[in-house]
Copies of this chain bind each other. A is one copy, B any other.
Amino acid sequence: MKTVSTDPKWFADGRDVSSVDVADRSWQYGDGLFETIAIRSGKARLLDWHVERLQIGCRRLGIGPVPDSYLYDVVAGALRQEPSRSQFATLKLVVTAGSSPRGYRRSSESEPRVFVGLFPSQPIPAACYRDGVAVRRLATRLAEQPALAGIKSLNRLEQVLARREWDGDDLFEGLTLDTSGRLICGTMSNVFLFDGDRLLTPDLSRAGVNGIMRRKVLETLSTMGRDVDVADIDAGAADRCTEMFLTNSQYGIVPVTELDGRPLRPGVTTRSVMQLLGDAEFPEIAA
């Protein structure tokens, strides 16, 4: 039997790498972007949308251009080199602004660098899909920064600080508000909630990451004819909500059955979306 190493495997320019140049701006300033992509049965799930978001980020930060074809090639190359790891894995695709002399100013010679990391991964327990998960609102607030909102840059200290607020397994995810008190997202997920009959998901134009699975769920809800309001969500709506679910590109979608200690009950809409996704590209969702 072939054993698969539990260590991640990183590539750049088609070669194994274990380190990043000390002059790379990613390390110095977080000057770069990343995607974490679900690998299922040797394929990168929703890869087109990940590449699209990465390119939006590159344009916003002024990095590149990096041709789409190059990004597709490096992903395909990593999967080809490691077929035994690619049945169920997480691929991390990183684009950095490259190296430059010291200082915030990028050099005209700075060339973007692309790294691919292939990480062994496990599905979340089936009980999370079936019985739901517990979440609570965290104390760490997200700054309102339209210039960085929506994209997935390498500046992630807010998420690191938020993730330090709990340690055990009793909490599946923590929800973060912005500094004005609007509900924005989880540390690594997007959120949908029901305020009465209204289905809402936070507007992400000031903070948060515009999740790939959020987009997939919005599309799925649209095919179901279900309206979703992309809106500012205040504390009241979160207090009142009776139903909530989380989305993330690795696990897809999970219902929330406990919010700040208060029980919630997944209703027919949540279960229908899960069913549709489980029947399609997301077999691990045991709807």
Chain A residues at the B interface, C-beta cutoff of 8 Å: 8, 10, 17-31, 34, 36, 61-62, 90, 92, 97, 101-106, 115, 117, 119, 140-141, 143-148, 153-164, 179, 187-188
Whether the pair B20, A22 counts as a contact (CB closer than 8 A) is yes
Chain B's closest residue to A23 (CB) is B8
Complex A-B, nearest 5 residue pairs according to Cβ-Cβ distance, in ascending order? A30-B30, A143-B143, A143-B145, A19-B19, A155-B155
Chain B's closest residue to A164 (CB) is B62
Chain B residues whose C-beta falls within 8 Å of the C-beta of A105 in the assembled complex: 163-164
Chain B residues whose C-beta falls within 8 Å of the C-beta of A161 in the assembled complex: 61-62, 147
Chain B residues whose C-beta falls within 8 Å of the C-beta of A164 in the assembled complex: 62, 105-106
Task: From the candidates B8, B117, B155, name the one contacting A157 in the complex (CB within 8 A).
Answer: B155
Task: From the candidates B27, B147, B162, name the one contacting A141 in the complex (CB within 8 A).
Answer: B147
Chain B residues whose C-beta falls within 8 Å of the C-beta of A34 in the assembled complex: 28
Chain B's closest residue to A145 (CB) is B143
Whether the pair A117, B19 counts as a contact (CB closer than 8 A) is no
Chain B's closest residue to A159 (CB) is B104
Q: Assuming A28-B154, A156-B29, is B104 touching A163 (CB within 8 A)?
A: yes
Measured between alpha carbons, how far is A157 from B157 in the docked complex, in Å?
12
Task: From the candidates B8, B17, B141, B154, name the one contacting A30 in the complex (CB within 8 A).
Answer: B154
Chain B residues whose C-beta falls within 8 Å of the C-beta of A159 in the assembled complex: 29, 104
Chain B's closest residue to A149 (CB) is B143
Min distance, Cβ A27 to any Cβ of chain B, angstroms: 5
Task: From the candidates B22, B27, B36, B104, name the one contacting A162 in the complex (CB within 8 A).
Answer: B104
Q: Assuming A61-B161, A156-B30, A157-B155, is B187 touching A104 (CB within 8 A)?
A: yes
Chain B residues whose C-beta falls within 8 Å of the C-beta of A22 in the assembled complex: 10, 17-20, 115, 117
Whether the pair B21, A157 counts as a contact (CB closer than 8 A) is no
Whether the pair A188, B104 counts as a contact (CB closer than 8 A) is yes
Measured between alpha carbons, how far is A146 from B159 in the docked complex, in Å?
14
Whether the pair A179, B23 counts as a contact (CB closer than 8 A) is no
Whether the pair A160, B29 counts as a contact (CB closer than 8 A) is yes
Min distance, Cβ A239 to any Cβ of chain B, angstroms: 24
A sample of 14 inter-chain contacts (CB < 8 A) reads: A8-B23, A8-B101, A17-B22, A19-B21, A25-B160, A27-B27, A29-B155, A30-B30, A104-B160, A104-B187, A105-B164, A140-B147, A143-B143, A155-B156
- Given A29-B160, A146-B179, 19 other A-B contacts at CB below 8 A? A18-B22, A19-B19, A19-B22, A28-B34, A29-B159, A30-B155, A30-B156, A36-B102, A61-B157, A62-B161, A90-B102, A103-B163, A105-B164, A106-B160, A140-B147, A143-B144, A143-B145, A143-B148, A144-B144
